[in-house]
Amino acid sequence: PPQSGSRGELRWRRRDSNRSRSRGRGLSLTIDEGRQAFHHGPYWRCYYSNTDAVIYVVDSCDRDRIGISKSELVAMLEEEELRKAILVVFANKQDMEQAMTPSEMANSLGLPALKDRKWQIFKTSATKGTGLDEAMEWLVETLKSRQ
């Protein structure tokens, strides 16, 4: 969960590797990465407290499981502790020819129906690193505007 940091840094920590990376931006950002979080729902709920933003990564080439992804996202966003959390969606694998467009993904995930939540979807490619800086910049600015 993003938190204001005394040293003004952004920190990424992956639970599975315990690696971290820092950047100065006036915020401290800790990211706990989870796969198939809702197969382990009770375990992941312990990370929801004090969460200011959720970054949800979706495989934009996987049309067969976009419905499952929507169900998991909706269930997560219904949690009381995430009621005010900003939502950032990474439409990943945008470098692939068969990728759904961000607009198609937003509609498939039901994002336009999120009336009381700040959200944004970004075209990303994790393997190429594209779109990640833009998404993080948007998130940082959105978090700062809330303070």
CATH of domain 2-146: 3.40.50.300
Query: Distance between CA 43 and CA 91 in Å, rounded?
Result: 25
Annotated binding site for GTP: 92-95
The dihedral sign for the CA sequence 109, 12, 141, 137? negative
pLDDT of 84 > 70? The answer is yes
Annotated binding site: 92-95
- Identify the pLDDT of residue 8: 40
- pLDDT (tens digit per residue) in 89-131: 999 999 999 999 999 999 999 999 999 999 999 999 999 999 9
Query: Distance between CA 65 and CA 70 in Å, rounded?
Result: 9
Query: Distance between CA 49 and CA 100 in Å, rounded?
Result: 32
Positions marked catalytic: 36
90 contacts: CB under 8 Å, gap ≥ 6: 55, 56, 57, 58, 122, 124, 126, 131, 132, 135
